[in-house]
Structure 1
Amino acid sequence: MKNIYIYLKILLIPFAFILQNYSIINAQICSKTNPINCLQFKPLARLWNVSNEEVPKLLDLEKSLISIDSKLQPLLNELDFGGTYIDMKAGKINVNTVNQSKVNEIRNKMKNDQDFLNFIAANNTLSQLNSTFNQTFILAQQFNITNYEISIEPEFNNIVIYLNMNDGKNKRFIENVETFNPSPIIKLLPNEEKEEILFNSSILVEKRNLNILVNGGSRIVSLGHNGIKACTAGFWMKKNNEDFIVTARHCLEIFPPLFYVYSFQDDHLIGPMNSRLIGSYDMGFIKKTNTNIMLRPVIRRFLQFLIVGSSEITSCGIHICKAGQRTGISCGFVSAINSIYNFVDGVLIRAIVVANMHGNYGDSSGSMFLYNGLNGQSNLADAVGIFNRWRIRHTGNRYANKHSF
């Protein structure tokens, strides 16, 4: 299953300085001699198909590969190479190579790290891929198609288009796009399927507090066209000394734009969504007006993570996780950084694409994060953005967006 996440650098989450001492006091260091502290690594261990105790070592390797990839990418001429992606199973960075004569030049420039590089023969340069990506997007607009995703996926060294092939308009679009060089890979939008519930939790414990706690992953509700519309709290952020919850813009359907945590009770009112990003970002901001509501820099869906920083996604093949109020915590792989998605209502979303991540309705705007893993601690997270999920009405398929901070 593919999920889409919008990448946005203009928002900062000022959590790291708040939690420095707290995270040290509550350190949960994973080790073979203390396996209970490794349990929070289970969603990532499941993705990587390893034991919980192996995750800290692999997180260190992933961080090293990301650092090497950040040094490598600027050296790769887009006329000679076709992008990179991290292969965690092999512990290597795969480099799509069209001009093999340039390999030694790159190895010499990356002498200290060349053992981590795997140069793979490829047909398409990044220049070709960018050109075909732009051509495909222009053609999609000309044919006025909707509910599609276009992405550059380095693992395939090609453009990948996801759409409904049964639509007559789309068939004509496909016939034209297949004449491009390279010819994009055409795939069906994923079908609706029953999702497994992973690490889901009860909200009853938090309801007993005098102050009602809202964490990343908490259920938030508002009025929708068909009754109650449920989404998931993303992250707490501050602006001009006021508190906001970052959520998805599409969680708001009708006015008044009031949001509650858990249920429609006066003491559960959070406040209004009084600002939204438009254009290429599906993002909204709920202002906290209820003094009984306590926002925390914490992600909690049974498992609890302390947010100690924020991360920028720069490499394909790395892990990314989400906390949703429906399906809990699950992880997937970043498969594309350059992508654009067209909503059912024609809104275009610039996005990062993630594969193999569980999610379902109601998970929209849930916290997206990376495991921090500092010193083997299993309860630390870096904020990445928010997970959005909606139903594409005429196909029954699902997608998601992420907003990165």
Structure 2
Amino acid sequence: MYYPIYAEQHHPLATLWEVDDTEVPNLLERERTLIAYDKTLNSILQQADFISSFGGTYIDIFENHIVVNTVDSSKVNDLLALPQIKPIESFLSFKEASNSMSRLQYNFDQIVQQVNLIRPPLVIVYTDMIDNNNVIYVPNVASYTEFLDATKPFDPIVIDISDPSSSQNLAQSRRNVNPRSFKVKVLGGDGLYNDRAGTCSVGFWRPIFTNWIHGI
């Protein structure tokens, strides 16, 4: 397969990943390999034997491994002993985590239930595998007290769009924030909830687009 190489760092993925254009083909091949391995891994982690012991995965193309959020380290050897995992064992990096996938899914469903009951406008709810938690973006915390109080038992990360220091994932003006124009950086595979479309996951981002989700 051939990839265009630019004289300067203008390839969209080179800009996104902050690398030289010449590194993009190798990183893309590495990403494809890790995605295939991750698909195999997650088909196993979703099984009853493991869903309460691990808290999801995410790919690190720069380190060339898959990070496995690990709640119960005693299950690591059981996982590595499986014949499907043996060929990809060297690509796995186990990271201590607090929330299992079953807990994340349960909490996410409960948060969505509160969204349906209270109907808060302009919120984004998704599962962040790197943070090993569910995340709620709101335009202004002070205006969402009822909704946020209702979701406290499910321990989400709450990010206030009006606070520019609250997240590096926000792109916003230094002037007053218009909640209809806020942008949130979301990784492919993250879970999202939209009050019209329901629960879904983010697909693969095409290189010609920037990976930002606009306010719901």
Q: TM-score, normalised by structure 2?
A: 0.76
Q: In structure 1, which of residues 177, 200, 204 is the aligned counterpart of residue 151 of structure 2? A: 177
Residue 193 (1) aligns with residue 8 (2)? no
Q: In structure 1, which of residues 105, 109, 128 is the aligned counterpart of residue 78 of structure 2? A: 105
TM-superposition CA deviations, 1:56-79 (whole Å, max 9, x none): 111110011001001111111211
Using the alignment, how far apart are the partners of 2:205 and 2:171 within structure 1? 26
Residue 121 (1) aligns with residue 96 (2)? yes
Residue 92 (1) aligns with residue 65 (2)? yes
What are the residue-to-residue correspondences of 1:255-294 with 2, within 5 Å?
none
TM-superposition CA deviations, 1:206-257 (whole Å, max 9, x none): xxxxxxxxxxxxxxxxxxxxxxxxxxxxxxxxxxxxxxxxxxxxxxxxxxxx
Using the alignment, how far apart are the partners of 1:48 and 1:164 within structure 2? 28
Q: In the alignment, what sits opposite 2:137?
A: 162
Q: TM-score, normalised by structure 1?
A: 0.42
TM-superposition CA deviations, 1:292-335 (whole Å, max 9, x none): xxxxxxxxxxxxxxxxxxxxxxxxxxxxxxxxxxxxxxxx7625
Structure 2 alignment gaps of length 5 or more: 162-169, 175-184
Structure 1 alignment gaps of length 5 or more: 1-26, 195-331, 355-367, 372-380, 390-397
Distance apart, 1:172 and its partner CA:
1.8
Please say if residues 129 and 190 of structure 2, whose CA atoms lie closer than 8 Å, have aligned partners that are also in contact: no
Q: In structure 2, which of residues 9, 26, 33 is the aligned counterpart of residue 57 of structure 1? A: 26
Q: In the alignment, what sits opposite 2:39?
A: 70
Sort the Cα spacing of 1:399 and 1:133 in 2 relative to 1 into closer, same or farther, 3 A.
same
Distance apart, 1:153 and its partner CA:
1.1
How many pairs align? 192
Please say if residues 388 and 400 of structure 1, whose CA atoms lie closer than 8 Å, have aligned partners that are also in contact: no
Distance apart, 1:165 and its partner CA:
2.9
Please say if residues 154 and 336 of structure 1, whose CA atoms lie closer than 8 Å, have aligned partners that are also in contact: no
Please say if residues 82 and 98 of structure 1, whose CA atoms lie closer than 8 Å, have aligned partners that are also in contact: yes
Sort the Cα spacing of 1:123 and 1:370 in 2 relative to 1 into closer, same or farther, 3 A.
same
Higher relative contact order (CA 8 A, sep 6+): 1
- Return 183-192 or 58-67, whichever deviates more: 183-192
Sort the Cα spacing of 1:369 and 1:39 in 2 relative to 1 into closer, same or farther, 3 A.
farther
Q: In the alignment, what sits opposite 2:181?
A: none
Sort the Cα spacing of 1:99 and 1:388 in 2 relative to 1 into closer, same or farther, 3 A.
closer
Using the alignment, how far apart are the partners of 1:52 and 1:136 within structure 2? 41
Distance apart, 1:337 and its partner CA:
2.9
Using the alignment, how far apart are the partners of 2:36 and 2:187 within structure 1? 16
Sort the Cα spacing of 1:47 and 1:113 in 2 relative to 1 into closer, same or farther, 3 A.
same
Using the alignment, how far apart are the partners of 1:165 and 1:369 within structure 2? 28
